[in-house]
Chains A and B, each alone.
Chain A
């Protein structure tokens, strides 16, 4: 097999490709010598091709799939529901989906799966859906990976959407990974920005990688649908418009597709949690600086006054001060609230990866050199045991609680 990537003869040895390679796969023995690509390290990501000003790097192009892309129409949104309640991520997807559908001059459609769920279609229509595909079956009362996956695979094959968005939640990620494989679609995880390329009309999907250290823009040029999971709290919710009209399509599904090998035996809601931090607009998070489990009550008081959720660093979770489901960071959750208050958290890179896209960050730490201050909108240097109660009292006063 010939090399899938080559440096061409018109290379001027400027070294731009060496710097651009995110994988350290291109080296130059010395400045102004021919760069060498280590094919074992190269992932053919194409960063060097983009960086090269002289069009001196050739990369193998994927051959066309032979699929008629024009047969795929409309922008679909998966309507995630828990116990019949539409989740707010769905409204965010409808908000973003509306823009994409308008750019493509296509319809915005929602896909609603559940049991006794049909009456929720109107909610989706008032948030901008032009059409709602409903599968209303007792087997779909709650999320089951196989049954939900089979139904979506069937609907995609039946109606051929162009774009298919889903929340990057536990359910969303577990579900559409199955669908994308089966329908031969490209799937991009955890997108934070979506746009339509005006020339190619491809969906440009931008997402963080390496814990947010780099951003990648990804497209699916030769297959459809173009599928993305979208990070919660990044896109704006669609506004309710009761006058918006839409069509409801009740879909029939073959019995066999509703069967699952795996079964849910029960669901146990978390007792500790006052709020799911992925949903919270305000998060008060604590770390090692709190010293003991009892001191976590300081955080809870502040969170209560602000109407926020409680988060934690890995150190706090590893000390068993709070359950793992509250952990923010690379090995925990990635959150994107309007306000994130970090108390006694130094700000290791793994923690920052989980919260640095928050709108406003307030950090309280006694160490003025703590890395958390590098990302904080407002940094408070001092003793948290003095500051947090005062901060709580002040908020209480100002908010009239």
Chain B
């Protein structure tokens, strides 16, 4: 069993702050790490390694410094890592990103399962996982909250829906995107950290993949960002404190119409 985990390196959102003057995101001094959603994907793969002896390969597409995210994955227990990095990938939207990753995974050839986080915490699109599935002509199970069973040929997993969950069976290979509920990611072990230091990361450029240059980067991306702006920060409103018996009737009276119209 060979599991490929697709991860993304993102700025640590806990430390993201907005410059009060320019309203721009302050990136300086913000550490980059594995996307929090992708940690669940890595852990899901490692659980399969623990239980079934699966081999786990982490893959990422990004700038050269994204290598540190791959070493993080190895320190958690991944066996191999592949960095897909090339200037030709700059400006990729989700179409070109999923194409590039799919072509890289195709080069890996003998894989049974591809696991992604449900979405990245910077772009929040949730489009790359299904995109990889389609580029590779594979079935998908998105928003997986539990893997019920796995054999050499079949996976049964639970997909979280808005109003419950579905149990879905799929032949392998298959693409999963996973949600937080699936597990609690482990911390790197000392042994893992040592391994991560020594690990040789495979690096692939555009020319290493059997891909159409017209489908890469800016050229392969149908969407184009025309404007980026910071929303006007929400203003704090009226504050009530003191004796609730005095202010609550006043507040509830104010809210009555809003509640009635929302109830319709």
**Residues in A lying within 8 Å of B, measured CB to CB:** 1, 4, 19-24, 39-47, 50, 60, 62-63, 82, 145-146, 149, 169-171, 173-174, 177-178, 180-182, 184-190, 204, 208-223, 260-270, 273, 276, 278-279, 281-282, 306-308, 324-325, 327, 330-332, 337-339, 349-350, 356, 359-360, 362, 368, 373-382, 386-387, 390-391, 394-395, 398-399
In contact, B237 and A217 (Cβ under 8 angstroms): no
Q: A189-B126, A217-B225 are contacts. A324–B181 as well, Cβ < 8 Å?
A: yes
In contact, A217 and B143 (Cβ under 8 angstroms): no
Q: A41-B63, A189-B126, A281-B263 are contacts. A349–B16 as well, Cβ < 8 Å?
A: yes
**Residues in B lying within 8 Å of A, measured CB to CB:** 13-14, 16, 18-19, 22, 24-25, 27-28, 36-37, 63-65, 87-88, 90-91, 93-95, 98-99, 121-127, 129-131, 133-135, 138-143, 145, 156, 159-171, 174, 179-181, 217-219, 221-231, 234, 236-241, 244-245, 247-249, 251-256, 258-263
In contact, A379 and B238 (Cβ under 8 angstroms): yes
Q: Which of B131, B145, B156, B252 contacts A181 (CB 8 A)?
A: B131
5 nearest A-B pairs in the assembled complex, by CB-CB distance: A186-B222, A24-B27, A44-B91, A177-B130, A262-B170
| Chain B, Cβ-Cβ closest to A181 | B134
In contact, B162 and A22 (Cβ under 8 angstroms): no
Chain A positions within 8 Å of B219 at CB level: 62-63
Q: Supply 23 A–B pairs (Cβ within 8 Å), ascending by A.
A: A20-B228, A22-B24, A174-B143, A177-B127, A189-B94, A212-B231, A214-B231, A215-B231, A218-B226, A219-B223, A222-B222, A261-B138, A265-B168, A266-B166, A267-B161, A324-B181, A338-B262, A349-B16, A374-B234, A377-B238, A378-B254, A378-B255, A390-B245
Q: A273-B163, A399-B260 are contacts. A177–B126 as well, Cβ < 8 Å?
A: yes
Chain B positions within 8 Å of A63 at CB level: 219
In contact, A265 and B241 (Cβ under 8 angstroms): no
Chain B positions within 8 Å of A186 at CB level: 93, 95, 221-224
In contact, B222 and A223 (Cβ under 8 angstroms): yes
Chain B positions within 8 Å of A263 at CB level: 168-170
Chain A positions within 8 Å of B90 at CB level: 4, 39, 42-44
- How far apart are the CA atoms of A381 and B243 in the complex, in Å? 10
- How far apart are the CA atoms of A266 and B119 in the complex, in Å? 25
In contact, B163 and A276 (Cβ under 8 angstroms): yes
Q: A170-B142, A337-B262 are contacts. A356–B225 as well, Cβ < 8 Å?
A: no
- How far apart are the CA atoms of A74 and B110 in the complex, in Å? 43
